[in-house]
Amino acid sequence: MEKVSINPTINESWKEILIQKFQSEYFISLKKFLVEERKKNIIYPPSSRIFAAFNYTPFENVKVVIIGQDPYHGAGQANGLCFSVSDGISQPPSLQNIFKELNSDLGIPIPKTGNLEPWAKQGVLLLNATLTVRANQPGSHQKHGWEEFTDAAIRALSEKRKGLIFILWGKFAQAKEILIDKSKHHILQAPHPSPFSVHSGFFGCKHFSKTNELLKKEGLQAIDWRVE
């Protein structure tokens, strides 16, 4: 396979951890796929935001991991952080339900913005399993290599860190449990916050307060879950 120059805009701590993945054949193939995709289609999020989760939350700063599936596929929605949208963008239904549970759990008022950057800056890694998507076609970039890359990130956190809290909402995220050393880390599971499953146990899961209780037991500062 011909060599392709890859210099991802990603935090140095993550680049050091994942450098071999960037040089692997599957990642080279993934980059070629994305180059061809951009010639014919609109891709979300913008290139500068593909690795936003890693850039807002350096490897050594991670305290909590929330795993999503795909970026949002509507215009202007995806900003590189799972479940998050940029300021001025309407909150998708799953995010609305996350804020409802947050309000019920901790009494935090439901915000006007859906931008979760304040969480990421405090150590909440908001990681989608697939980091790009074709406009209006959910799942269109699955099984092209992103999953191998993000699985490697989860494994690295499991192996090299201790006492992290992994929040797994829905069956897709829960399938990642096999990547996590449960003897070293905490796992919180609940149904997905989508309207289809939110009443099956997401509402009332109290994952925000439980996360903060676990962080305190680990001797770490609790997350301020307010976003505005």
Q: Which residues are catalytic?
A: 70
| Cα–Cα separations (whole angstroms), residue 14 to 154, 170, 195 | 11, 26, 34
168 Cβ neighbours under 8 A, 6+ residues apart: 67, 174, 176, 177, 187, 188, 189, 190
| CA-to-CA separations, 215 to 166, 188, 196, 211, 222, in angstroms, rounded | 12, 13, 30, 6, 6
Distance CA 31, CA 50 (A): 12
